[in-house]
Amino acid sequence: MNRVIDACERSGLPIYFTRDWHPPRHISFKSRGGPWPPHCVQGTSGAEFHPKLRVPPDAVIISKGDDADAEAYSGFQGTDLEGRLRKAEVGEIFLGGLTTDYCVRLSTLDAIKAGFKVNVIEDCIRAVDVRQGDGARAIADMRQAGARFVASGEVIKMMASTQQ
Ligand code: ZN
């Protein structure tokens, strides 16, 4: 992902990060009957990006899941991501991150529904696989919806040839 981020920066392409940004008693937590242990609680180290992930200073950070009573796997859900992409005249998205079967899947499906062309960077995603095969099923769903799967090396090459 870092190499793709570098390539985007070199090509002058806008970069968007989405992150879970949950209140301490979020609806997705086991304490409230949800499926997940507490995670990504606002202002705690658990909500920070991985220290080895390169977050350029001018990248846009989109926080989601900040309503205690609503789950938001998709980066488009309850955020201004779609508006920001349109304002930047983005037509095509290259997407990677965690997790294949939840946030990547739902962000991809929402992006396609909103009319964006979506490329999922196949070596930059990873599934939770709560049930075995969830990741594979998610990939099939995304393909079915029209997502294209590309290797990061291809994306980097493409970006190098479209210097802006
Ligand atoms: Zn979450």
Domains within the chain, CATH numbers bracketed: 2-163 (3.40.50.850)
> Could you tell me the two tokens for 108?
């991809």
pLDDT in tens, 137-156: 999 999 999 999 999 999 99
pLDDT < 70 positions in the chain: 163-164
pLDDT in tens, 78-106: 999 999 999 999 999 999 999 999 999 99
The H-or-E segment that residue 125 falls in is strand 117-126
Model pLDDT, residue 163: 61
| The model's pTM | 0.96
Between the CA of 39 and the centroid of ligand 1 the distance, in Å, is 6
Amino acid (one-letter) located at 6: D
Model pLDDT, residue 29: 98
Model pLDDT, residue 164: 54
Between the CA of 134 and the centroid of ligand 1 the distance, in Å, is 17
Between the CA of 28 and the centroid of ligand 1 the distance, in Å, is 7
CA dihedral defined by 30, 136, 15, 75, rounded to 10 degrees?
A: -40
User: What residues form DSSP beta bridges with 93?
Assistant: 118
Rounded to whole angstroms, how far apart are CA atoms 115 and 50?
30
